[in-house]
Amino acid sequence: MPPHIFAVTDEAYRNMLQEREDQSILCTGESGAGKTENTKKVIQYLAYVAGTRSHKHFGGHHADISGNIGRLEEQLLQANPILEAFGNSKTIKNDNSSRFGKFIRIQFDATGCISGANIEFYLLEKSRVLRQSSMERCFHMFYQLLHGASSHQRESLLLERSADSYHFLSNGDLTLPGVDDAVEFNETMNAMRIVGFQDSEIQAILRIVSAVMLFGNVQFSQDSRYCDQAVLVNDAVAQKICTLLGLNLAEVMKAFLKPKIKMSLFVGREYVHRSQNEEQAKFSVEAISKASYERLFRWLVQRLNKSLNRTWQHAVSFVGILDIAGDLQPSMGVLSTLDDVCLFPQGNDVGFVERLAAQHQNHPKYIVPEMRSKSDFAIVHYAGRVDYQAKGWRVKNMDPLNENVVDLLQLSKDPLVCEIWKDGKKICLKVTVIACEIYYFLLVSDMCCMGAGEVDEAAAVFGARVKKGMFR
């Protein structure tokens, strides 16, 4: 019988103290295997053991009323409900599935007491903001807010009646069996206050969450006078979004419907306004909504790290916990190939299809269609053959952001909106017209393997050391 997770954690903790060497515990596996729950158990055990040691060392001055858990340990434990609320959701296999990976580094001083902590995240499934399958849900926080907000909060946050009033939420399940979203909301708010969030910060966070939900209710139609120009169907929803984000409605709609782009001509440079059709305007709104939530999540993690940082306490070593789904060395599939194509400025849909054919033409599940076929490739799934057209895949996968809207968000009247978008220009897609043609360039940042260097060097406690390079 394999050892209990507490035994594994205790071994890592003792090895760290005795050998003065960093340790890492890897929690991997498929969805629903128990990675997140085991991660919580690891943190709980370390907080208890270190808290007990701190209590003995300092005579209880650093401990709470239980006599075992100090304030830093309590904040570390309360960080998890916050991450779960904003980063977990219901899937077909798991009612509380983490939709992101994380590496938690718990730092210890020479006596074995916790001296600080740091959280790194990667691969947040931001597409879940837009759509889910019929048996899944969006991130927990959306439903917690709608069920748990007070009447005053509902009024100030401009919330709709229920989850089915939001297009982004209406495709999936609205409730979770055995879970009271209102109770969960109160627990999340309490956790945020324990960690150190101010009420003004919490209110600003909830305003952005409300705005993200409302983005899905913005509707466009094609202008009957101009075939290439979209128009806003009703500005009521857009006005709510602008109120929540501290923006001007007229400026935002102009940025979405007629963005200003730079045109390079033979002599000089000038800006022109390019009309957006209904599909382009909708795509632009969806890209901004996904990016807003991802940036909010990144800011939340940074804010948690600020509370958990104890720079005045000397850290000697750490125990790292890696919570990540799936195989650590996945094969080069269709989506991985698409991601690679997006890294090259000259990449296109044709090149993507050609790379797929070169890599998988001998695979029994991959089919190169007939010459006259309208599809670009086909895959034999469990239910049968499915033909795919790759047109537009690259651009959609890159999530190009409307630079005009990003400029407005950076000048928002809301300090938190400005904060999460302050580096928007660095990773925002630059849309430029060169010789009257549009080319897309993506500046890549935030590579996904954060914390990999530390994990490579650390000691794995599942019976063997971590092999160097296993995360590269």
Binding-site residue numbers for ATP are 29-36
Q: Which residues pair with 101 in a beta bridge?
A: 122
Binding residues: 29-36
Q: Terminal CA-to-CA distance of the chain, rounded, Å?
A: 32
What are the strands, taking DSSP E only, across 313-373? 317-325, 366-367
129 secondary structure, DSSP code = G
Q: Which amino acid is at 67?
A: G
* Residue closest to 393 by CA, chosen among 341, 445, 434: 341
Q: Which amino acid is at 205?
A: I
Q: Please give the order of strands across the beta sheet that includes 366-367.
A: 366-367, 377-381, 384-388
| Backbone φ and ψ of 118, nearest 5° | -145, 140
* Residue closest to 140 by CA, chosen among 80, 200, 199, 197: 80
- Give the alpha-carbon dihedral of 447, 451, 457, 460, to 10 degrees: -120
CA distance 251 to 416: 20
Q: Are 156 and 193 in contact (CB under 8 A)?
A: no
- Give whole-number Cα distances, 465 to 10, 22, 188, 458, 469, in Å: 16, 11, 37, 8, 12
* Residue closest to 323 by CA, chosen among 8, 18, 28, 80: 28
What are the strands, taking DSSP E only, across 43-111? 88-89, 97-98, 101-108
In this structure, the number of other CB atoms found within 10 A of the CB of residue 338 comes to: 20
Sign of CA dihedral 417, 423, 427, 432: positive
